Amino acid sequence: MQTHPTRTQPPRSWTVTPARYDNPDVQQLLRQLRATQLEMYGYADDPTDTPAEDYTLPQGLFLLARDVTARPTGCGGWRTLDASTAEVKRMYVHPDARGQSLGRELLLRLETDARLRGYTHMQLETGVANVAALALYRRSGYLPITPYRPGRDPQINRALRKAL
């Protein structure tokens, strides 16, 4: 009988906690996110243009994931769009932590928090080149919608929405 080595994923080894949007570790990850977006699309919104208050309760929440060494490994937030809709923003997982379901955990925590605060829908934008993000959102029940941000290129951006 022949045995084949199996690829095993390392155990989940991170903590996810609320963090201020202007936290230096959050800002470090957002700079990495922006660099990734610039490489993919040649354009990226500047995360420092967003007021930290957008991600401060009750109008929003930002999460920061750290690995067992306390190194920042992922982040994401939601902010209020209207009385019933929260918008997912700034989702990012460091390349070293990808493939371990951290993005899914961040998304689930954001959705749960928004639902508990009375929001009935989540929506977001992502780029067509971000195949992993599009797959995560589709697996998580997000469906395509008409673009909701003025000036976005429909050839590059995809808008998605999910009922909570």
Name the CATH architecture for the domain at 14-148+155-163: 3-Layer(aba) Sandwich (3.40)
pLDDT in tens, 112-132: 999 999 999 999 999 999 999
pLDDT for 104 equals 98
- The pTM (predicted TM-score) of the whole model is 0.90
The residues spanned by each domain of the chain are: 14-148+155-163
pLDDT in tens, 65-86: 999 999 999 999 999 999 999 9
pLDDT in tens, 20-76: 999 999 999 999 999 999 998 888 889 989 999 999 999 999 999 999 999 999 999
CA dihedral 156, 161, 162, 164 (to 10 degrees): 130
Q: List strands edge to edge, sheet with 60-67.
A: 14-18, 60-67, 72-82, 85-93, 121-127, 157-163, 143-145
58 prior amide bond cis, ω within 30? yes
Lookup: tokens for 94: 């460091």
pLDDT for 2 equals 42
